[in-house]
Amino acid sequence: MKLQEKPVTVNNAAAVPPRLEVTALSKTYGSGPSAKCVIEDLTFTIGTGEVVCIVGPSGVGKTTLLKCLAGLQPATSGTAAIDGRTIAGPPAEMALVFQDYSRSLMPWLTVRKNVRLPLRHLRLPEAELNQRINTALEAVGLAHAANQYPWQLSGGMQQRVAIARALAYRPEILIMDEPFASVDAQTRFELEDLCLKIREDFGMTILVVTHDIDEAVYLSDRVVVLGAKPARVLDVVDIDLPAPRDQISTRALPEFAEQRTMVLSMIRKPA
């Protein structure tokens, strides 16, 4: 697949209805002579129930993009929208998981209370609250650890708690910023498979920023490749691999190697 000129518009509405739409989005930090344009004129869409990964060189602006999508900071120009509604603050249907689980969990609260924390604003009846927490902990395989504290758990288990907390909120869109970067390889594989299971079980739309090209190809329906500074969309690669994906057999497929090589060569190509 050749590189496309910007802006790249991927409209897969025929296959999956677009849920999240990014249109000509740009972000500049600061103003005047010190202004720094970090992302410029990004356009892409994510369909309902898709897993999309964003990859790009370090410092290109991936986290900046996620912060705009999550309504944590305004875009300088352009829009991000859910179901056609421009995102102007944290959207109710979205949850975020960050890389640094050690800072996102409250060490003085048990696993159960950590998962319960973001639900307090929903004013749910106690029975539904407990049911949501139990379902989320079961989904990540941590029902047995509900009464433990984060510091009693391994790094991978702590990241599962962070994911359970997002799941209990029942978001329709889950955004994760390098969520598996701080765990060992085996745990990383388990968490990747958990991500795919969540999509199957809950029908969620999932957007993941990752540095790991193999991970992006393994997880994704499509990979958005960012390049250059300021960041722009180099291409959106359709990942055509059979389902269900499997850590050993999927990664051994010749198509897997082809697609990872394609994405990698785009990232490494000089701007």
Q: Please work out the total of residues on this chain that contact ligand ATP, with binding judged by CB under 6 A.
A: 10
Q: Which of residues 6-65 bind ligand ATP (CB under 6 A)?
A: 29, 36, 38, 58-64
* DSSP-derived secondary structure letter, 249: T
What is the CB-side half-sphere exposure of residue 105 using CA atoms within 13 A?
31
**6 or 251: CB nearest ligand ATP:** 6
CB of 36 to ligand ATP, least distance (A): 6
Q: Binding pattern to ligand ATP, positions 81-110, x when CB under 6 A?
A: ------------------------------
Q: What is the C-alpha to C-alpha distance for residues 122 and 124, in angstroms, rounded to an integer?
A: 6
**211 or 251: CB nearest ligand ATP:** 211
Q: What is the C-alpha to C-alpha distance for residues 76 and 37, in angstroms, rounded to an integer?
A: 9
Residue 86: φ, ψ to 5°: -65, 135
CB of 230 to ligand ATP, least distance (A): 9
CB of 27 to ligand ATP, least distance (A): 8
CB of 113 to ligand ATP, least distance (A): 30
**114 or 210: CB nearest ligand ATP:** 210
178 contacts: CB under 8 Å, gap ≥ 6: 98, 99, 209, 210, 211
Give 209's strand partners. Answer: 54, 177
CB of 146 to ligand ATP, least distance (A): 32
* DSSP-derived secondary structure letter, 85: E
**36 or 85: CB nearest ligand ATP:** 36
**210 or 259: CB nearest ligand ATP:** 210
196 contacts: CB under 8 Å, gap ≥ 6: 51, 219, 244, 245
CB of 74 to ligand ATP, least distance (A): 12
Helix (H, G, I), strand (E, B) or coil at 222: strand
Binding status of residue 176 toward ligand ATP by CB under 6 A:
no
Positions touching ligand ATP (CB under 6 A) are: 29, 36, 38, 58-64
